[in-house]
Amino acid sequence: MERILVADIMTRDPVIINPDTNLLDCAKKMVNKGVGSLLLVDKKRLVGFISEKDILWALIKKSKSDLSVIKAIDISPKKLATIKPFAPIKEALDKMKKLKFERLPVIHEGKLVGIITIKDILNFKPEIYPELDELAQIREEANKLRRLKKVKERKMGLCEGCGNYDVLTSDQGTLLCESCRDEI
């Protein structure tokens, strides 16, 4: 298996914001950029991280407060999970799975250089993950069982469209083979 590194597929320009930005502006930036999280950066150093869930939490828990007065850094987790750019993708995936995170900031020599997300990994090369391969096989087996069940519900006989002996299904009261059904 080829050795794919975090640096190979990470997003190099993550959406960042100043830690003192209020949550209302953070939410607007997330919507404008089409992202679910923001990295809080001060002088190229990662100091925090907030997600849509964090803003929602603040909205519910601090309902007496206005989102325009709460700073992003105030709701950011104190401990941040990060990964290095030269770590293998498997390490990033294992870390995300263990921590139940969908994304990890990428840090090199103390500075933010990117972000890696589950989506980045899956978009790059999903077939390198045996777990996904296994999931695909399970889905394929489930689809086969569904098709088999449908075939059992069908009957063998003469197609009323072409006269061939085949598996028939009823289409508006007419018994047709798959070819004739497709022509309709």
Per-residue pLDDT 10s for the chain (184 aa) are: 347 889 999 999 899 999 999 999 999 999 999 888 999 999 888 999 999 888 888 888 776 668 888 899 999 988 889 999 999 988 998 898 888 888 899 999 989 999 998 888 877 765 555 555 565 666 666 666 666 655 555 577 788 888 887 777 776 778 888 888 777 7
Do the Cβ atoms of 89 and 121 come closer than 8 Å?
yes
Which CATH number belongs to the domain containing residue 120 in this structure? 3.10.580.10
Give the pLDDT of residue 68.
85
Report the pLDDT value the prediction gives residue 31, as an integer from 0 to 100: 92
Q: Total domain count for the chain?
A: 2
Q: Could you identify the residue written with the tokens 């798959």?
A: 178
User: What confidence score (pLDDT) does residue 150 get?
Assistant: 57
Phi, psi of 176, rounded to the nearest 5 degrees? -130, 150
- In this structure, the answer to whether residues 112 and 164 fall within a common structural domain is no
Residues 37 and 82 grouped into a single domain: yes
Claim to verify: residue 37 and residue 118 sit in the same structural domain: yes
pLDDT of residue 142: 66
Residues 115 and 168 in one domain: no
Please tell me whether the overall predicted TM-score, pTM, comes out greater than 0.75 for this model: no
Q: Which residues, 6 or more positions from 40, have their beta carbon under 8 angstroms from its beta carbon?
A: 16, 17, 18, 19, 46, 47, 48, 49, 50, 72, 73, 76
Give the per-residue pLDDT at 104: 94
